[in-house]
Chains A and B, each alone.
Chain A
Amino acid sequence: MYTFSNRLKIGSFILMAVGLIGIAIGFISAPSTVEEAKAMVASHAEGHGGDHGDGHAVPGETEGEVHMDEAGMQHPTVGMGAEVEHGNALAHDQEHEMSHDEHLLHQLQNRPWSALYVAALFFFFIALGVLAFYAIQRAAQAGWSPLLFRVMEGITAYLVPGGIIVFVILLLSVLHLNHIFVWMDPEVVAHDELLQGKQGYLNPTFFLIRAAIFLAGWIFYREYSRKLSLAQDEATDNTNFVKNFKWSAAFLVFYLVTESIMSWDWIMSVDPHWFSTLFGWYVFASMFVSGITVIAMVVIYLKSRGYLPDVNDSHLHDLAKFMFGISIFWTYLWFAQFMLIWYADIPEEVTYFVTRIDDYKLPFFGMIVMNFLFPILVLMNSDYKRVNWFVVMAGIIILLGHYLDVFNMIMPATVGDQWYIGIPEISSVLFFMGLFTFWIFRAMATVPLQPKRNPFIEESRQFHY
């Protein structure tokens, strides 16, 4: 039985408190008028020596022109093309009513919201990735992992608070408290034919209903599977185990469909003019590898405290292999998406990457180094996968890299070139890190860390690679 250490509890409370203060500072320091926004950018520009307005022409001016970007590639931006070019941050139709300054104001106002949203999504995705991994282990009847089931169940406990927070942020967006999703603004939609065409899918009511269904489905499986898993400990036969196996297989079907739709809704729709077919898989790979990494790190932590005596090097080796393999899988999907769009260079698709490469060069390419180059070199050696501090170090880099991944998905569309990793972003991460840590270890402290009557538990105990 695990007892939640006091130091960890106090640490997570401190993280939450510091994070909350920082989040509040972020919201307070966001500008509320156009004048404030301009003053902020002016004072900022001195330090960075660049006026963002130069590289960001007002939409009306580029219409019908040939537009050169930094890479020297030409984008003939005629008609709709020009509109799409600038539509990533705010819908193009606003050109007639909303000046450049107002656009800037919205970007700056979005920053604390986006920072919160990115961190909320990132930590929710970790729990969801762990849930997918858990369901796969159950459906595949893996012999090595049952020893880790209680750890995974503990981490997925975060689905409830994390899911509620994400849902509340979505709800607040629908209530127009922020401009994260431009398609939620009826003013914007009224002047945007593309968004009108998507209204059947992208409308606030349906959006919230979908989100509620996804969250309900995921949380239901998590709670029910946990219940069956605990019941199996006290049972005299394997009916609970078999039931759990069937529910896990069914959940995986549900999960694949809903995860894909979720990625369109919660992430892709911040760029409502842009679409990509493999986006759902890409988001899945990101959450899957983050989830596995967190499992490995929590297992190493608990083992170092003496709570998982039967977990050995080989379990760690398997988790590290998954971290390695899924990191490469993520890179494969990232590159497949990037390269297809880069190669064809169709204006309405390529803007997505043009804005990222122009304004987010370091996070965009830094993420590839952290999520691919680093894990592939560090975790390739079989011996290193058994060294705890090596796995932890690789895990920290992978998690930071996947935070940046979510950051790169959301930020360019909501704050554009006004991004910075400062107080709002770091505080949001700290807050959710505190909440996540507190919640998962609290859940793990409620039941014994080792399942008693799982049919594979003996195999898992003897597991040796």
Chain B
Amino acid sequence: MASKVIQAFYNDDDVLMHAVKRVRAAKHHIEEVYTPFPVHGLDKAMGLAPTRIAITSFLYGCVGLTVAILMMNYIMIEDWPQDIGGKPSFSYIENMPAFVPIMFEMTVFFAAHLMVITFYMRSKLWPFKEAENPDVRTTDDHFLMEIELHGNEQELYDLLVDTGAVEINSIEK
């Protein structure tokens, strides 16, 4: 699929933010923005949907809590209810305070790790993955906005120059 994109470089995050707002106002579709560091408010300016990773984390935490409860109930109460130092192992609730540290840690463990793995999977990050960086300068001191082209190259070019772009390239992808 041969499509053309235009890449505009900026060297200041404030300028970039204004440029994003203007390009969006002019109804152009921004494919991607590459920045060397998080730019506060950029996602809002681009109109990106809010992340749902906190919700997944909550659900993973619930899974961890369930795992801990089922595990301790099976091991300590059902499978071999031994008398260990006089702790009451007649039912789960009677000995529950002793299990709370495990329940807590398992909840945190599941919530944290599964959320991180979810993040890696959703952002397609893994070791030996080929970097998708269009220009090395975007990891250092330049900001890059990538916009789809639909035969309106000149008009977009003028707009981007007007927003303060320091360099504009159009590329076949």
Q: Which residues of A contact B (CB under 8 A)?
A: 71-74, 335, 338-339, 342-343, 345, 380, 382
Quick check: B88 and A72 within 8 Å, CB to CB? Answer: yes
B151 interfacial contact with A, CB 8 Å: no
Quick check: B97 and A339 within 8 Å, CB to CB? Answer: yes
Chain B residues in 8 Å Cβ range of A335: 97, 100
Contact of B97 among A72, A73, A338 (CB under 8 A): A338
A279 to B86 CA separation, bound complex (whole angstroms): 26
Known contacts A71-B94, A380-B58; A339 and B100 CB within 8 A of each other: yes
Quick check: B58 and A73 within 8 Å, CB to CB? Answer: no
A380 to B59 CA separation, bound complex (whole angstroms): 13
A382 to B58 CA separation, bound complex (whole angstroms): 13
Chain A residues in 8 Å Cβ range of B94: 71-72
Which chain A residue shows the least CB distance to B54? Answer: A382
Which chain A residue shows the least CB distance to B41? Answer: A464
Chain A residues in 8 Å Cβ range of B58: 380
In the complex, what's the smallest C-beta–C-beta distance from A361 to chain B, in angstroms?
13
Q: Mark B49-93, 1 if CB is under 8 A from A, else 0.
A: 000001000100000000000000000000000000010101000
Which chain B residue shows the least CB distance to A344? Answer: B85
Chain B residues in 8 Å Cβ range of A382: 54
Quick check: A72 and B90 within 8 Å, CB to CB? Answer: yes
Chain A residues in 8 Å Cβ range of B98: 339, 343
18 residue pairs A–B, Cβ–Cβ below 8 Å: A71-B88, A71-B94, A72-B88, A72-B94, A73-B86, A73-B88, A74-B86, A335-B97, A335-B100, A338-B97, A339-B97, A339-B98, A339-B100, A342-B97, A343-B98, A345-B86, A380-B58, A382-B54
Chain A residues in 8 Å Cβ range of B88: 71-73
A97 to B86 CA separation, bound complex (whole angstroms): 37
Chain A residues in 8 Å Cβ range of B90: 72
Which chain B residue shows the least CB distance to A335? Answer: B100
A335 to B90 CA separation, bound complex (whole angstroms): 22
Chain B residues in 8 Å Cβ range of A71: 88, 94
Chain A residues in 8 Å Cβ range of B97: 335, 338-339, 342-343
A345 to B58 CA separation, bound complex (whole angstroms): 35
A71 to B58 CA separation, bound complex (whole angstroms): 34
Which chain A residue shows the least CB distance to B55? Answer: A381
Chain B residues in 8 Å Cβ range of A72: 88, 90, 94
A71 to B100 CA separation, bound complex (whole angstroms): 19
A277 to B86 CA separation, bound complex (whole angstroms): 25
A382 to B50 CA separation, bound complex (whole angstroms): 12
A34 to B44 CA separation, bound complex (whole angstroms): 73
A382 to B53 CA separation, bound complex (whole angstroms): 13
Chain A residues in 8 Å Cβ range of B100: 335, 339
Which chain B residue shows the least CB distance to A345? Answer: B86
In the complex, what's the smallest C-beta–C-beta distance from A95 to chain B, in angstroms?
29
In the complex, what's the smallest C-beta–C-beta distance from B44 to chain A, in angstroms?
11
Which chain B residue shows the least CB distance to A341? Answer: B97
In the complex, what's the smallest C-beta–C-beta distance from A368 to chain B, in angstroms?
12
Enumerate the 9 nearest inter-chain pairs by beta-carbon distance, A residue then B residue, closest first: A339-B97, A342-B97, A72-B88, A73-B88, A343-B98, A335-B100, A71-B94, A339-B100, A343-B97
Given contacts A72-B90, A342-B97, A343-B97, 17 further A-B contacts (CB under 8 A): A71-B88, A71-B94, A72-B88, A72-B94, A73-B86, A73-B88, A74-B86, A335-B97, A335-B100, A338-B97, A339-B97, A339-B98, A339-B100, A343-B98, A345-B86, A380-B58, A382-B54
In the complex, what's the smallest C-beta–C-beta distance from A156 to chain B, in angstroms?
35
Which chain A residue shows the least CB distance to B98? Answer: A343
In the complex, what's the smallest C-beta–C-beta distance from A86 to chain B, in angstroms?
22
A169 to B57 CA separation, bound complex (whole angstroms): 49
In the complex, what's the smallest C-beta–C-beta distance from B54 to chain A, in angstroms?
8
In the complex, what's the smallest C-beta–C-beta distance from B66 to chain A, in angstroms?
16
A376 to B27 CA separation, bound complex (whole angstroms): 42
Chain A residues in 8 Å Cβ range of B86: 73-74, 345
A72 to B100 CA separation, bound complex (whole angstroms): 21
A342 to B94 CA separation, bound complex (whole angstroms): 11
B84-119 with Cβ < 8 A to chain A: 86, 88, 90, 94, 97-98, 100
Chain B residues in 8 Å Cβ range of A342: 97
Which chain A residue shows the least CB distance to B94? Answer: A71
In the complex, what's the smallest C-beta–C-beta distance from A143 to chain B, in angstroms?
15
A406 to B3 CA separation, bound complex (whole angstroms): 69
A343 to B86 CA separation, bound complex (whole angstroms): 10
Interface-centre pick from B86, B90, B97 (highest chain A CB count, 10 A): B97
In the complex, what's the smallest C-beta–C-beta distance from B65 to chain A, in angstroms?
12
A12 to B65 CA separation, bound complex (whole angstroms): 45
Chain B residues in 8 Å Cβ range of A380: 58
In the complex, what's the smallest C-beta–C-beta distance from B145 to chain A, in angstroms?
25
A71 to B87 CA separation, bound complex (whole angstroms): 11
A342 to B96 CA separation, bound complex (whole angstroms): 11
A264 to B94 CA separation, bound complex (whole angstroms): 30
A72 to B90 CA separation, bound complex (whole angstroms): 10
A72 to B87 CA separation, bound complex (whole angstroms): 10
A71 to B88 CA separation, bound complex (whole angstroms): 9
Which chain A residue shows the least CB distance to B97? Answer: A339
A208 to B105 CA separation, bound complex (whole angstroms): 45
B18-68 with Cβ < 8 A to chain A: 54, 58
A342 to B58 CA separation, bound complex (whole angstroms): 30
In the complex, what's the smallest C-beta–C-beta distance from A333 to chain B, in angstroms?
14
A73 to B94 CA separation, bound complex (whole angstroms): 10
Chain B residues in 8 Å Cβ range of A73: 86, 88
In the complex, what's the smallest C-beta–C-beta distance from B17 to chain A, in angstroms?
15
Chain B residues in 8 Å Cβ range of A345: 86
A74 to B86 CA separation, bound complex (whole angstroms): 9
In the complex, what's the smallest C-beta–C-beta distance from B88 to chain A, in angstroms?
6
